[in-house]
A and B are shown apart, each in its own frame.
Chain A
Amino acid sequence: TQLLEQSPQFLSIQEGENLTVYCNSSSVFSSLQWYRQEPGEGPVLLVTVVTGGEVKKLKRLTFQFGDARKDSSLHITAAQPGDTGLYLCAGGRRGGFKTIFGAGTRLFVKA
């Protein structure tokens, strides 16, 4: 069974602080996706990384795929209350039928 473990499970920080969320697995994935989910809604894709060592930036969010394609991190600079939500990582394999989701990191940014 492929598992994706996310840490921390919960994070509460002040506006303006920086944070990093981790997604780890013992298995190799062809792609790693990060989603954000707000209360009462379905997850929405933030980014997809496919190359080992790849770094992608989305405004204040920086995503990195590990060299061995087994782990990923999400770094948020100067967090804002609008960043509050559940962050999910998900791994996929080319030619596979299913995507494996982590349990998520629930982030709360206080104004």
Chain B
Amino acid sequence: NAGVTQTPKFRVLKTGQSMTLLCAQDMNHEYMYWYRQDPGMGLRLIHYSVGEGTTAKGEVPDGYNVSRLKKQNFLLGLESAAPSQTSVYFCASTESSYNEQFFGPGTRLTVL
């Protein structure tokens, strides 16, 4: 099992450009999450999904959109990137919020 995979691992964008981050899990988990991690601020929840076809806003959703068309995939989109979105993005999946979260290796995004 690959667990949770994320693509790409690194990306540099110019302000105003758009991109999509892909997360895939092969554990048949219902719950998937997108976090951003910034120095001294821990993991902040951007959006999450509790099942195929469902999405919900987290703590810091502005400037991001998500889609969960297939159970195994959770996409995070940036329509118009801003320097404030420079961060490391982690995807995670779990059976429920009560259980262990399995994290991907992260995507390091720099917006110039």
* A interface list, Cβ under 8 A from B: 9, 30-31, 33, 40-45, 48, 88, 90, 92-94, 96-99, 101-104
Given contacts A30-B98, A42-B103, 6 further A-B contacts (CB under 8 A): A31-B98, A40-B106, A43-B90, A90-B101, A92-B98, A97-B56
On whether A45 and B100 interact (CB within 8 A), knowing A97-B48, A98-B58, the answer reads yes
A-facing residues in B23-73 (Cβ within 8 Å): 31, 33, 35, 40-45, 48, 50, 56, 58
Cβ-defined partner of B92 (8 Å) among A9, A42, A96, A104: A42
Q: Does B105 contact A (CB under 8 A)?
A: yes
On whether A41 and B58 interact (CB within 8 A), knowing A88-B42, A88-B43, the answer reads no
Q: Does B1 contact A (CB under 8 A)?
A: no
Contact B42 A103 (CB under 8 A): yes
Cα separation A98 to B33 with both chains bound (whole Å) = 9
Contact B97 A45 (CB under 8 A): no
User: Which 7 A-B pairs have CB atoms at the shortest separation, nearest pair first?
Assistant: A42-B103, A103-B42, A101-B43, A45-B100, A92-B97, A92-B98, A101-B42
Convert B95-112 into 0s and 1s, putting 1 for each residue whose CB lies closer than 8 angstroms to a CB of A: 001111101111000000
Taking CB atoms, residues of chain A closer than 8 Å to B56 are: 97
Taking CB atoms, residues of chain A closer than 8 Å to B98 are: 30-31, 92-94, 96
Q: Which residue of B lies closest to A103 (CB)?
A: B42
Taking CB atoms, residues of chain B closer than 8 Å to A33 are: 100-101
On whether A103 and B104 interact (CB within 8 A), knowing A97-B31, A97-B50, A98-B58, the answer reads no
Q: How far is the CB of A28 from chain B (nearest CB, A)?
A: 14
Taking CB atoms, residues of chain B closer than 8 Å to A43 are: 43, 90, 101, 103
